Each structure stands twice: as structure tokens, then as C-alpha cells.
């Protein structure tokens, strides 16, 4: 049974109890479920369920007992990997079992890569030798310092029922209201992603945008999150606590951002994590402090050859954001200005692959408006949900459903001989040292480098391309490493999202030409087999070098046989290559042209035409026969009359 609903809300918590033999695991579970000490318990209990009304959060808990015997090890590992929380037990009357937690059990959980929170529980408290008192906090502090996955420690007695219900309450709480995403125990501070989420919430509640929450705004926030207003005396009390503990937490206008963050850090320190989590979840956050999928209405693609683009409304919003944060009005965003935009997002999205270094920047490393919008176009193409989440986080106030749109199918575009797309996705194929990386670098304004660095992973760049007539399209170039082509083409739908493919070869190297031709034929065959044929262009790179003998003749013959344009000569090192990008966009704008046809494909097309002609002939013949028969019957009837 899934432990989450469609909206990401937990519908159950699975707690696995583990520990050395004889530490009281089964008795603990039985006592929690029956509120009585069991006279007899089996070696291992079947899964035990605590109903939803057992604890205040209203979420049922399933408790799984385990055996520590070697024979049951495989089952134990399986249960631990399925756990939402792990309860590790030791016996208060057996000090060795406590030592075993840090020498075996906790390292074992790490070895198994168990990510669930851990509750350390001392059982049989009633049997501890009173002559050997133990300070639990003092003993557990160094262990908790070493193993940060431990959420809390507690001791209990199944015989006297002391703190037995609390064990599974803390286990449930560790799952429903986890500490790790919010608070850094070592530094005793809120974690960066938590601060970013709370900043966004603060800004959403600061309706007059004066940098502080007034009494009225605080009350509205309280009602939204907890369905109950604050009394005037309570508001005064909250402000007093903040004023006494942090300078600048309260201004003449109300509670400042610093005060707001301090309050939540205080809640967490006091163990009231449910308060902060209630706020975060009310504003749409999941356990990873990202916006939940159920509040991200990403439009659905109904076919693989459809893509998702930003709407004009979203692009206008992003242009406004760019102007707002371009504080020095130099037409570009400095790194600090850029970071400020995403200060309320979980993280700055373009500091990692595939977005880092994927767009045009100035010589100083600043992001231009074209680069800014191109990064958004790339993110929308690759991950529409991630794009929409970031749009909302940076303040997109329109209807989320109006931010993205699904394009028409490419197969329909081919039939209509035109496209309505504004963003085109181009696959860049070619053998090693053919100039693929140099072409991509040229597209985003990088200077040519003679140092060869092979590309081992897929790489993307994006930029705006001005077309004749003043229209502007965004082009995404995806470099396909030669070693990755076979894996790419093994997927039948690999070309569905591709609007145009280019094949580079070193015009001075005959092997480079032959290999590029092989790649072209492989892609053409895959397009014919899958029905996702794409316009293709050949690019004769390094045109500034002497071509190999018969270069022009060979390439002209191949393009003529396949029904393609002649190769486009490009000297990336010496010549402006902007025209080639216009040619690529133009090919994408005419989805019915420049699609290569192999001999096998031509034969298949001729066969289909022959079959269609035969069917047409048979249909016409049948129609003539039917009409003739009807006419004869009418004539015969008239004659008889």
C-alpha cells in the first residue's frame, strides 16, 4: 500500500523495530498496541497496526517486528529498506546491547544506505540496576554526534508501560515532521533550503511589500496556516519574544524577515517541528522543501513528438524580472543579481549541468537577456515541472496553467508543411574531432580554443536566432557524443523530440566524412522505422583547412541520393558562423523538407504508393460495378413494367 496520497500527503507510516536478540522488541510492540504487558509473545510478531486515531496527527502506523538471527538477515534487510523510520532497541539491564548500537547496528544501517530517521530506544527500564545509574543524555550525546540520522533517544518499560506510546509517537513524528530538511544540528541553524522556502512565504504574506508583517498580515498568515486568529495579546507576546532575542527582528512596521526566521528556528529548537511543517505544507512544500507536484499543473503531452514551451505571458513576466534585477541597467545580470532572483527557490537552478555554461554571457561572465530567456527555454524543454516550480518560486503571480503550452505534433506540422513552434531542438552528431564542441561554443559566443577536450556526456547550449523578417526563435543544440549514438538510437522514440539534426565532419579528414555519413544513415533509418523522420543537414566543418581529395564530389553525391541540401561549409575558427544557425532554424521551420530517404525507405514508399493505387483501382472498379448493377436493375424493372 502506498504511504502517500496523490497530493503527496502521507497516508501511513511504516516503522521497523530492530536490535539485538532479547532487547524487548516484541514486548515493546505488543505493549504499545494493547496498552498492557504481554505474558507471552512469539519470537517475531506479525505486522502490527496502530489506527489513525492513536496519535494526534491522524496517520496510522504499521510496526514491523524483526529477528536479528542470521537466518532472517535477508528479510531484515528488506524490511529496513522499506522503512519510513527505524527503531533501534537496547536493553537497559544489558550495557553491551547499548555498545552494539554504535559498533554494529548504526554502521550497518549506513552500509545498507538506509535513509530513514532512527529512534534509539532503551527497553526494560524497570530492570536496570539502581546501583548503576546512567545519564542518558551524557551517554548518547557522542553517539548522536557521530550518527546524525538519530532523531531522538528514549527509555521505556513494557512491564510498567512507562513511555511505551511515546516511542512510536516519536517515530511517527520523525517521519511526518523530520528535522533533517529544516535544521542543521551541528551548526544549530536553519538549513539554506528551509530559509529560502520561509523567505518566499514571508514575501507572499507581506502584501504591502514593506519588508515587515503587520498585525493584520500576521493574523491572516495565522488563519491561513492554523485556521485560528491570534489575539492582540498573543501578537504582542510574539513580538516581545523576538525583540528580546534578536536585534532587528521587529520594526515599527511589524515582524521582519529576520524575526520570522528566528521564530521558526525557535519552534524547531523547542521540538515544535510540526508548527514549521504545517506552515511549509500549507504553502505547497513537500518533505524535500520543493513545491509538490499536485500544485504544478504541467500540461500533458499526448504524443512523444510534442514539446512544452513557455507562453508569451510567462516570457513577458521573465522579461520584467530581468529588468527588475538588472539594477545597474547594463542589459546583463551579474552573478549577485542573478542569485537574488532565485533567493526564494530551493536553489539556483542553473549552477549545475545541464544548465551551467549553456547560454550566452558577456566577457565579464554576466548573463544577457537572450541568455536568460534561453536558459528558461532549455529548462522548459528538458523539465517542464522544474521550470514551472521555479517560475512560481520567483513570483509568477498568474494562473500557473497559463505559463506553459504544449506544441502541435511534429507529424501534423509535416503534413501542414509549417510549424507554430518558437523553440527548436537540434541534435548535433559527428565523429570525434569533427568540431561539434566548437560549433556549440561558437553559438553562445565562446572564443575558439585549439585545445581538444572530448565530450563524454550529452551537452546542451541555447540561444536566440534572428531570422529574415525580424522574427526570433530559440535554438537548443544538443551535442551527442559519438560513443552515445548507439544507445540513443536504441530507443524507438529517440527522434520524437528532435526538430532538426545536423551532422558535422572534418572536411580535411576522409575518415571523419565516412563516419559522419554512417551516422547520418543510421539516424535516417531510425527515422523511417519509427515514423519520426527529421530534417537533416550536413556541415563541412574546418572549411579553412584543405579538403581531402574527392570531398566535394562524395558529399554532393550522398546528399543528392538522400534528397538533402548540399553540405554547409563552416570554418568555426576563422569565420562568423551565425549564418549556419539561421540555416538550422530554417530547416526546422520547414519540417517536411530535407528529410533523408534511404534506398530501403524509398522502396517502402513506392510499395505503399503501389498498394494505395491498387486499392484505389479496386475501389473504383467496385463502385462502377455497383452503379452498373443498379442501372441494370432499374432498366429491367422499367422493362417489366
Based on the fold, state whether residues 283 and 302 are members of the same structural domain. no
User: Which position has the higher pLDDT, 136 or 155?
Assistant: 155
Based on the fold, state whether residues 244 and 302 are members of the same structural domain. no
Contact status, residue 65 vs residue 45, Cβ threshold 8 Å? yes
The arithmetic mean of pLDDT across residues 46-74, rounded, is: 94
Domain boundary among 288, 320, 349: 288
Based on the fold, state whether residues 27 and 150 are members of the same structural domain. yes
Residue 283's domain comprises 189-288
Q: Transcribe 583-637 into DSSP letters.
A: HHHHHHH-TTSS----HHHHHHHHHHHHHHHHHHHHHHHHHHHHHHHHHHHHHHH
Separation CA 525–CA 591 (nearest Å): 17
Based on the fold, state whether residues 593 and 495 are members of the same structural domain. yes
Domain boundary among 228, 262, 288: 288
In whole numbers, what is the pLDDT of the chain averaged over residues?
Answer: 90
Based on the fold, state whether residues 458 and 527 are members of the same structural domain. yes
User: Which position has the higher pLDDT, 524 or 556?
Assistant: 524
Number of domains in the chain: 4
Using pLDDT thresholds of 50, 70 and 90, give the confidence band for residue 610.
Answer: low
608 assigned to some structural domain: no
Q: What is the pLDDT of residues 235-251, one digit of tens each?
A: 999 999 999 999 999 99
Residue where the block lists cell 540513443? 488
State the cell numbers at 601.
525507405
The pLDDT value given to residue 448:
73
User: Which position has the higher pLDDT, 273 or 634?
Assistant: 273
Whole-model pTM: value is: 0.85
Contact status, residue 361 vs residue 367, Cβ threshold 8 Å? yes
265 assigned to some structural domain: yes
The angle subtended at Cα 66 by Cα 61 and Cα 71, nearest 5°, is 155
Given CA atoms 468, 470, 474, 477 in this order, what sign does their dihedral have?
positive
Task: Give Dmax over CA atoms of the chain in angstroms.
Answer: 127
Based on the fold, state whether residues 446 and 395 are members of the same structural domain. no
State the cell numbers at 281.
505544507
Domain boundary among 239, 261, 288: 288
Based on the fold, state whether residues 228 and 361 are members of the same structural domain. no
Strands 13-19 and 568-570, sheet pairing: unpaired
The pLDDT value given to residue 44:
93
Q: What is the pLDDT of residues 293-317, one digit of tens each?
A: 999 999 999 999 999 999 999 999 9
The pLDDT value given to residue 578:
75
Residue where the block lists cell 529512534? 119
628 assigned to some structural domain: no
473 assigned to some structural domain: yes
611 assigned to some structural domain: no
Strands 500-506 and 423-429, sheet pairing: parallel
- The 10 Å Cβ neighbour count of residue 167 is 27
Looking at 185-189, 499-503, 623-627, which range is the least confident one? 623-627
Q: What is the pLDDT of residues 192-222, one digit of tens each?
A: 999 999 999 999 999 999 999 999 999 999 9
Contact status, residue 157 vs residue 166, Cβ threshold 8 Å? no
Question: What are the contacts of 368-371 at 24+ separation with CB within 8 A?
Answer: 368/331, 368/332, 369/319, 369/322, 369/331, 369/332, 370/463, 370/464, 371/444, 371/463
Domain with residue 259: its CATH number is 1.10.238.10
Q: Is the pLDDT confidence value at 575 over 80?
A: no
Based on the fold, state whether residues 318 and 437 are members of the same structural domain. no
The pLDDT value given to residue 1:
45
User: Which position has the higher pLDDT, 450 or 178?
Assistant: 178
Percent of the chain topping pLDDT 90: 71
Given CA atoms 199, 205, 210, 214 in this order, what sign does their dihedral have?
negative
7 assigned to some structural domain: no
631 assigned to some structural domain: no
Based on the fold, state whether residues 482 and 335 are members of the same structural domain. no
Amino acid at each position: 500500500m502506498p504511504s502517500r496520497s496523490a497530493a503527496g500527503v502521507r497516508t501511513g507510516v511504516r516503522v521497523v523495530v530492530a536490535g539485538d536478540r532479547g532487547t524487548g522488541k516484541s514486548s515493546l510492540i505488543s505493549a504499545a498496541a494493547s496498552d498492557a504487558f504481554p505474558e507471552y509473545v512469539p519470537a517475531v510478531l506479525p505486522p502490527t497496526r496502530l489506527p489513525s486515531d492513536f496519535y494526534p496527527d491522524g496517520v496510522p502506523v504499521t510496526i514491523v517486528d524483526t529477528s536479528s538471527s542470521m537466518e532472517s538477515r535477508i528479510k531484515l534487510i528488506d524490511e529496513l529498506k522499506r522503512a519510513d523510520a527505524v527503531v533501534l532497541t537496547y536493553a537497559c539491564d544489558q550495557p553491551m546491547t547499548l555498545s552494539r548500537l554504535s559498533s554494529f547496528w548504526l554502521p550497518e544501517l549506513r552500509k545498507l544506505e538506509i535513509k530513514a530517521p532512527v529512534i534509539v530506544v532503551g527497553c526494560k527500564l524497570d530492570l536496570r540496576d539502581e546501583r548503576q545509574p546512567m545519564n542518558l543524555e551524557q551517554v548518547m550525546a557522542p553517539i548522536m554526534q557521530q550518527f546524525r540520522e538519530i532523531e531522538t533517544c528514549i527509555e521505556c518499560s513494557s512491564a510498567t508501560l512507562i513511555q511505551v506510546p511515546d516511542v512510536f509517537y516519536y517515530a511517527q513524528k520523525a517521519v511526518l515532521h523530520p528535522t533533517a530538511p529544516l535544521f542543521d544540528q551541528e551548526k544549530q541553524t536553519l538549513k539554506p533550503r528551509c530559509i529560502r522556502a520561509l523567505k518566499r512565504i514571508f514575501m507572499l504574506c507581506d502584501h504591502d511589500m514593506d519588508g515587515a508583517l503587520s498585525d493584520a498580515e500576521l493574523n491572516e498568515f495565522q488563519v491561513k496556516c492554523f485556521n485560528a486568529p491570534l489575539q492582540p495579546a498573543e501578537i504582542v507576546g510574539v513580538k516581545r519574544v523576538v525583540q528580546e532575542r534578536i536585534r532587528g527582528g521587529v520594526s515599527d512596521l511589524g515582524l521582519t524577515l529576520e524575526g520570522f526566521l528566528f521564530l521558526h528556528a525557535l519552534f524547531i529548537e523547542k521540538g515544535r517541528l510540526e508548527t514549521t511543517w504545517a506552515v511549509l505544507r500549507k504553502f505547497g512544500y513537500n518533505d524535500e522543501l520543493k513545491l509538490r507536484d499536485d500544485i504544478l499543473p504541467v500540461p500533458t503531452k499526448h504524443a512523444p513528438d510534442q514539446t512544452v514551451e513557455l507562453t508569451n505571458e510567462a516570457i513577458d513576466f521573465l522579461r520584467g524580472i530581468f529588468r527588475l534585477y538588472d539594477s545597474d541597467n547594463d542589459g546583463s545580470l551579474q552573478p549577485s543579481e542573478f542569485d537574488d532572483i532565485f533567493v526564494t527557490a530551493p536553489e539556483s537552478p542553473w549552477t549545475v549541468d545541464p544548465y551551467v555554461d549553456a547560454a550566452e554571457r558577456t566577457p565579464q561572465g554576466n548573463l544577457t537577456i537572450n541568455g536568460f530567456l534561453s536558459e528558461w527555454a532549455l529548462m522548459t524543454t528538458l523539465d517542464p515541472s522544474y521550470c514551472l516550480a521555479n517560475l512560481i518560486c520567483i513570483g509568477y503571480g498568474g494562473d500557473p496553467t497559463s505559463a506553459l503550452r504544449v506544441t502541435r505534433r511534429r507529424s501534423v506540422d509535416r503534413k501542414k508543411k509549417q510549424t507554430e513552434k518558437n523553440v527548436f531542438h537540434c541534435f548535433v552528431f559527428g565523429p570525434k574531432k569533427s568540431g561539434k564542441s566548437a560549433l556549440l561554443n561558437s553559438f553562445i559566443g565562446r572564443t575558439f580554443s585549439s585545445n581538444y577536450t572530448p565530450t563524454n556526456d550529452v551537452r546542451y547550449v541555447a540561444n536566440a536566432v534572428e531570422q529574415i523578417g525580424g522574427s526570433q526563435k530559440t535554438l537548443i543544440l544538443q551535442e551527442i557524443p559519438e560513443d552515445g549514438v548507439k544507445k540513443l538510437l536504441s530507443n524507438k522514440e529517440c527522434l520524437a523530440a528532435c526538430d532538426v539534426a545536423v551532422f558535422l565532419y572534418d572536411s580535411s579528414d576522409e575518415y571523419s566524412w565516412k563516419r559522419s555519413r554512417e551516422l547520418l544513415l543510421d539516424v535516417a533509418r531510425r527515422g523511417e522505422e519509427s515514423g519520426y523522420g527529421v530534417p537533416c543537414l550536413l556541415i563541412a566543418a574546418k572549411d579553412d583547412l584543405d579538403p581531402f581529395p574527392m570531398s566535394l564530389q562524395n558529399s554532393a553525391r550522398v546528399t543528392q541520393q538522400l534528397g538533402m541540401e548540399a553540405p554547409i561549409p563552416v570554418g568555426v575558427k576563422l569565420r562568423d558562423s551565425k549564418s549556419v544557425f539561421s540555416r538550422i532554424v530554417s530547416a526546422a521551420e520547414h519540417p517536411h523538407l530535407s528529410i533523408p530517404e534511404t534506398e530501403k525507405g524509398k522502396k517502402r514508399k513506392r510499395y505503399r504508393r503501389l498498394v494505395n493505387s491498387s486499392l484505389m483501382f479496386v475501389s473504383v472498379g467496385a463502385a462502377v460495378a455497383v452503379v452498373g448493377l443498379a442501372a441494370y436493375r432499374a432498366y429491367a424493372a422499367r422493362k417489366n413494367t
